[in-house]
């Protein structure tokens, strides 16, 4: 990834009490002249007599600014684009298709879920059978006690 050269922009020049001149400078990438020219032409339409032209110009300017990764504050203060969010890949992740891996894991989880549902069904049937046997045994005991 190539780095951009920083351009120094003089924000203010002031003369001190002792006669020295100080400059307040800020380093950072600024908009390219071509981009500034384009933005200037678009902004020139803000004064149009037609509301539709003003709205279209405002939308075009907004899209240009946000497309560069800037805010209007950045444009007005001369700041450059904010650093993009970097995705860090670990060495063991190189060459892995994460979407494919996620789909595979979803298939595994579905299969495991189905197997667990089958097991629950079998255990529920066993439990119901056991409860029925216990009920039947209790009824037989009750009948025996009643006969005696």
Please name every residue paired with 8 in a beta bridge, in sequence order, or none if there are none: 27
How many C-beta atoms surround the C-beta of residue 34 within 10 A?
A: 8
Please report whether residue 86 resides in a domain.
Answer: no
According to the model, what pLDDT value does residue 17 have? Answer: 56
Residue 20 maps to a domain: yes
Comparing 57-61, 72-76, 113-117, 129-133, the range with the smallest average pLDDT is 72-76
- Count: domains in the chain: 2
Please determine, for residue 29, whether its predicted confidence score (pLDDT) is greater than 70: no
In degrees rounded to 5, what are phi and psi of residue 10?
-80, 120
Domain residue limits at 62: 7-77
pLDDT at 1: 45
pLDDT in tens, 48-86: 999 999 999 999 999 998 888 888 888 888 765 556 666
The two three-digit tokens of residue 105, written as one number = 């894991």
Would you give the end-to-end CA distance of the chain in angstroms?
A: 96
Spatial distance between the Cα atoms of 130 and 142, rounded to a whole number of angstroms: 18
Query: What's this model's pTM, rounded to 2 decimal places?
Result: 0.37
Are residues 28 and 53 located together in one domain of the fold? yes
In this structure, are 67 and 23 located in the same domain?
A: yes
Share of the chain above pLDDT 70, in %: 72
């Amino acid at each position: 990834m190539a780095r951009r050269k920083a351009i120094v922009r003089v924000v203010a020049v002031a003369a001190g009490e002792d006669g020295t001149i100080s400059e307040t400078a800020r380093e950072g990438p600024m908009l390219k002249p071509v981009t500034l020219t384009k933005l200037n032409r678009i902004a020139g339409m803000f004064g149009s007599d037609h509301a539709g032209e003003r709205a279209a110009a405002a939308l075009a300017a907004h899209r240009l600014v946000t497309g560069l990764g800037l805010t209007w504050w950045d444009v007005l203060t001369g700041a450059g684009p904010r650093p993009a969010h970097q995705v860090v890949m670990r060495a063991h992740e190189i060459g892995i298709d994460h979407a494919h891996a996620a789909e595979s894991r979803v298939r595994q989880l579905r299969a495991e879920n189905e197997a667990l549902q089958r097991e629950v069904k079998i255990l529920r049937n066993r439990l119901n059978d056991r409860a029925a046997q216990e009920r039947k045994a209790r009824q037989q005991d009750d009948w025996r006690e009643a006969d005696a």
